[in-house]
Chain A
Amino acid sequence: MLQQAAITESKAKAKMVTGADLLLEALEKEKVEVIFGYPGGAVLPIYDKLYDSKILHVLPRHEQGGIHAAEGYARISGKPGVVIATSGPGATNIVTGLTDAMMDSLPLIVFTGQVPTNVIGSDAFQEADVLGITTPITKYNYQVRNIEDIPRIVKEAFYIASSGRPGPVLIDIPKDIAASVSKPPEEQEIKLPGYQPTVQPNYLQIKKLSEAVSRANKPVILAGAGVLLSKASNELKEYAEQQQLPVIHTLLGLGGFPADHKLFVGMAGMHGCYASNMGLSECDLLINIGARFDDRLTGNLQFFAPHATVAHIDIDPAEIGKNVQTAIPVVADAKEALKQLVKQNGKPPVHGEWLEQIHKWQEEYPYYYGESAALKPQKVMEMLYEKTTGDAIVVTDVGQHQMWAAQYYQFNQANRWVTSGGLGTMGFGLPASIGAQLADPDRCVVAVLGDGGFQMSTQELTVIKELNLPVKIAIFNNLSLGMVRQWQEIFYDKRYSHSKIPIQPSFVKLAEAYGIKGYEINTAEEAEVILEEVLSNREPVLLDIRIDPHENVYPMIAPGKGLHEMVGVKP
């Protein structure tokens, strides 16, 4: 008897685990491949366990870079990106990334270290109220209070982050809990009685929508990132083809429907194409699938889709009716709703004239740009598209270059487009390209950056070198914060207040300092030769592309104007 007891006791002892063990075990269970993390005092117990872990750990050179990389990873892989940051400054450095992911519905699991439980609330060294700070910018957040809860909390976090409308979930772990020791806890069930996303559409609403489509004369689909998040591209194509519905994209939705399809109209919104914006202005039935009617898409709501019956398919009921009154609400996962719509096999609308009208708009008013001695960014973007056969992953920063990429790179497949839409975060592009490349290692990744935004994340060049990621960094250098300069030119009487940045380091030499090859490109001929060369190898490269600094993004809808009030439609 005694001997027996001694054996079980020693067995139990041998199996004692720490909070950090439980954490890593839980991550392995979720099949996490990569962690973007940065160590510090409060996460040392976790980092000690990471030393022996098989999971790839990527060390960004700034926590903000880490979380943007995780966003790029999540966008391309469809799986939650995992981030670790230490307490205090580590945690506050990820605030922008959390907000960005929240706005663009990207699944993230973010661990922050916290000061030990017994000093929480005492303004201890590197203490910050992380739960308080991140409550409005996360889908949910936790602070671990008991070591036994770790496996359940991690499981719940992955479930919350990746189901329903995806978003970031933060788990704050006090240092003592990560270090404390316990018997392996009993398995706990997920306990989320207040969280039950509606995935299946209501049959009657589907029927109503299907009938509205049959009756419509000027129907359009507006497809947002919800289509990509629910992996519904095939279903969208099938439905659009079945009913012959023209498809308009939001900025974030690009790639959800093939740009080379004859039913594809283009991107809508502030810098969208004429046909899309007119399509929205004149349609009589607007079927929004997974877009949230952002103000940069709708323009002045007073003039938005004035003749349309609005149907809206969204997994987040709060998005339906938030900005635009909706006659046919469908709360559902986009994929499920589209499957049901296809199954209805409704009578296609009679709308030949409408399709013709849209094609006419497309032909008469395509995106255009003028010729000049200086290199035109749009031209370079077209070359990038051709030379990557449209199959690259394009990651952008925020500004004019982002809009040119959206306009001139044709996205014919899903998961080729990574951009910061809702928050418009400068500094996003370079780190996000790291995550995108890790998510799809064999594909060509082009990071399209501005000279301003690049300088907000330059430090991440090290990571590209360290992991030898073949990212093609294309800086569209206009020696200015171009988008700000454009607004000052148009709305502020050309008073270029702090938007010109002619004093720059040599980006080529900078790249070389990081051990990355760099080229300066000044003409279309140089672009031709250099792009050809660098896109055909598997090496990282930085291109300092000197574009026309006076170039603006057109067409454009001024703030407060309606979609039909585009300027710069024709030369």
Chain B
Amino acid sequence: MKKIISMTVMNRPGVLNRITNLFSKRNYNIESISVGLTEQEGVSRITCVIHVESDREAEQITKQLNKQIDILKVTDISDQAIVARELALIKVLSTPQTRNELYALIEPFRAAVIDISKDSLVIQITGESEKIEAFIELIKPYGIKELARTGTTAFPRGTQKPVNTQKTYSIV
């Protein structure tokens, strides 16, 4: 199963290395990892999407991460109401014949064309990973030349629903 782990870390040299090291040492699978600054000086947020066999394994990962001295806080936010976003840039082949079709696909996904050349388009899309995956599947037949995804970044929503409600998905 997929889990999203969100953590705040001290922005010290080697901190990312410590985290990736831990993942490889403990034989954990990372799907994506994204890092960036936060509102607090000297503190960064790292969001990892991981694959685990069980909740127990996810708990182990969280505990091992928590043990790291440079990590301030670790939360498994998979079961919380969260906002999670990823950005992807996709360079897709386009001919005058297919261009309109592509635009028709882009529109409902609220993606944007950010570069056009003679035979290709660069599309930017943001959203939850599932949405991006769905979009990539649709675009694939046209011929993807290059693809770059940032990995998910996420945090909990301002308001949390009572515990046993369903996980919320946002549409966009």
Chain B interface mostly:
helix
Query: CB distance B14 to A135 under 8 Å?
Result: yes
As a 0/1 sequence over residues 188 to 232 of chain A, the CB contacts with chain B under 8 angstroms (1 = contact) are 000011110000000000000000000000000000000000000
Task: Verify if A6 is at the interface (C-beta below 8 Å from B).
Answer: no
Chain B residues 1-60 with CB under 8 Å of chain A are 9-10, 13-14, 17-18, 21-22, 25, 56, 59-60
Known: A135-B14, A194-B10, A194-B72. A318 touches B67 (CB 8 A): yes
Query: CB distance B14 to A318 under 8 Å?
Result: no
Q: Tally of A-B residue pairs with Cβ under 8 A? A: 38
Shortest Cβ distance from A116 into chain B, in angstroms? 17
Task: Verify if B157 is at the interface (C-beta below 8 Å from A).
Answer: no
Task: Verify if A424 is at the interface (C-beta below 8 Å from B).
Answer: no
Residue ID in chain B nearest A193 by CB atoms: B72
Shortest Cβ distance from B111 into chain A, in angstroms? 38
Query: CB distance A317 to B22 under 8 Å?
Result: no
Known: A136-B21, A316-B67. A321 touches B60 (CB 8 A): yes
C-alpha gap A321/B72 in the complex (Å): 22
- Which B residues are CB-close (under 8 A) to A131? 14
- Which B residues are CB-close (under 8 A) to A195? 69
Query: CB distance B60 to A136 under 8 Å?
Result: no
Query: CB distance A143 to B13 under 8 Å?
Result: yes
Task: Verify if A121 is at the interface (C-beta below 8 Å from B).
Answer: no
Task: Verify if B63 is at the interface (C-beta below 8 Å from A).
Answer: yes
Task: Verify if A352 is at the interface (C-beta below 8 Å from B).
Answer: no
Shortest Cβ distance from B32 into chain A, in angstroms? 22
Residue ID in chain A nearest B61 by CB atoms: A318
Question: Number of A residues contacting the other chain (C-beta, 8 Å)?
Answer: 18
Query: CB distance A321 to B13 under 8 Å?
Result: no
Task: Verify if A502 is at the interface (C-beta below 8 Å from B).
Answer: no
**One of A160, A317, A321 near B56 (C-beta < 8 A):** A321
Task: Verify if A370 is at the interface (C-beta below 8 Å from B).
Answer: no
C-alpha gap A318/B56 in the complex (Å): 11
- Which A residues are CB-close (under 8 A) to B68? 194
C-alpha gap A131/B22 in the complex (Å): 14
Query: CB distance A194 to B69 under 8 Å?
Result: yes
Query: CB distance B10 to A193 under 8 Å?
Result: yes
Chain A residues 110-149 with CB under 8 Å of chain B are 131-132, 135-136, 139-140, 143
- Which B residues are CB-close (under 8 A) to A194? 9-10, 68-72
Task: Verify if B66 is at the interface (C-beta below 8 Å from A).
Answer: yes
- Which B residues are CB-close (under 8 A) to A325? 56
Query: CB distance A317 to B63 under 8 Å?
Result: yes
C-alpha gap A209/B64 in the complex (Å): 25
C-alpha gap A401/B153 in the complex (Å): 54
Known: A143-B13, A193-B10, A193-B72. A318 touches B66 (CB 8 A): yes
C-alpha gap A135/B72 in the complex (Å): 18
Query: CB distance A318 to B63 under 8 Å?
Result: yes
Known: A193-B10, A194-B10, A317-B63. A132 touches B17 (CB 8 A): yes
Known: A318-B60, A318-B64, A321-B60. A140 touches B17 (CB 8 A): no
- Which B residues are CB-close (under 8 A) to A143? 13
Shortest 7 CB-CB distances between A and B: which pairs? A318-B63, A195-B69, A194-B72, A140-B69, A136-B25, A136-B21, A318-B64
12 A–B contacts from the bound complex (CB under 8 Å): A132-B17, A136-B21, A136-B25, A143-B13, A192-B69, A195-B69, A316-B67, A317-B66, A318-B64, A318-B67, A321-B56, A322-B60
